[in-house]
Amino acid sequence: MPAKTSSAAKAKTESSKSFGLGYGIQPKRNLNRFVKWPAYIRLQRQKKILSLRLKVPPSIAQFSHVLDKSTAAQAFKLLNNYRPETRAEKKARLEKEAAAVADGKTKQDASEKPYTVKYGLKHVVALIENKKPQLVLVADDVDPIELVVFIPALCRKVGVPYAIVKGKARLGTLVHKKTATVVALTDVRAGDKAALSSLLSAIESNYTTQHEESRKKWGGGVLGSKSVAKIEKRARLAAETLKI
């Protein structure tokens, strides 16, 4: 006589599914781990992990400390007023000056001196060496970093105010380019002197003073989740053996 099956076992048998070919549809799950990402994404993720794991010298680690959002917005608002001329604007200005010279006037009578943001690595470095900039902004994501790694030290040596900001692409928008590694502001109009003074004091209090100690410290050395779990497990085992 066959053994009787309980109602619970019968219900379990009926509710169980088979996920083989031609059977039940598998439940939805996050497939991010199984995606074959493009090479450039894999490389930038690996680079990010290496920069966290390995010890990073202070001169490079300081580029992870950027200007805060509100002060950066204040800086870009001011520098947007000093974007370089476009070709059309420059052509119109030169034509205006040429017409003024033809009438016996000077160029200054036709148009005032153009105040613009200075860009180009060699040009800005030369300006810093001559102590001309009133403010220097450096991008935090320049690759290779060796191009700009010396600029903060140079600015401190000659006494030029500087700040490291997020995004070379954002700096590029100031000068009609895709990217810019470093920009400098050498002079401002009389109406913007108060805004510049306010910005410099904000950078001094919110950036220079706050990151004075952090720029001397080494970066990196952050362990991954597996290593942290392994160390915690060893510590627990050591604590248990001491109790015994």
Written as tens digits, the pLDDT of the chain (244 aa) is: 555 556 665 655 566 788 888 888 888 889 888 899 999 999 999 999 998 999 999 999 999 999 999 999 999 999 999 998 888 888 888 888 888 888 877 777 677 778 899 999 999 999 999 999 999 999 999 989 999 999 999 999 999 999 999 999 999 999 999 999 999 999 998 889 999 999 999 999 989 888 888 888 898 889 999 999 999 999 999 988 887 6
Read off φ and ψ for residue 119, nearest 5 degrees.
-140, 175
| CATH topology for the 57-85+114-212 domain | 60s Ribosomal Protein L30; Chain: A; (3.30.1330)
Helix (H) / strand (E) element for 194: namely helix 193-203
Residue 206: DSSP 8-state? I
The total of other beta-carbon atoms located within 10 Å of residue 204's CB is 13
* pTM reported for the whole predicted model: 0.77
Q: Answer for the pair 74, 137: CB distance below 8 angstroms, yes or no.
A: no
Tokens found for residue 20:
């083989």
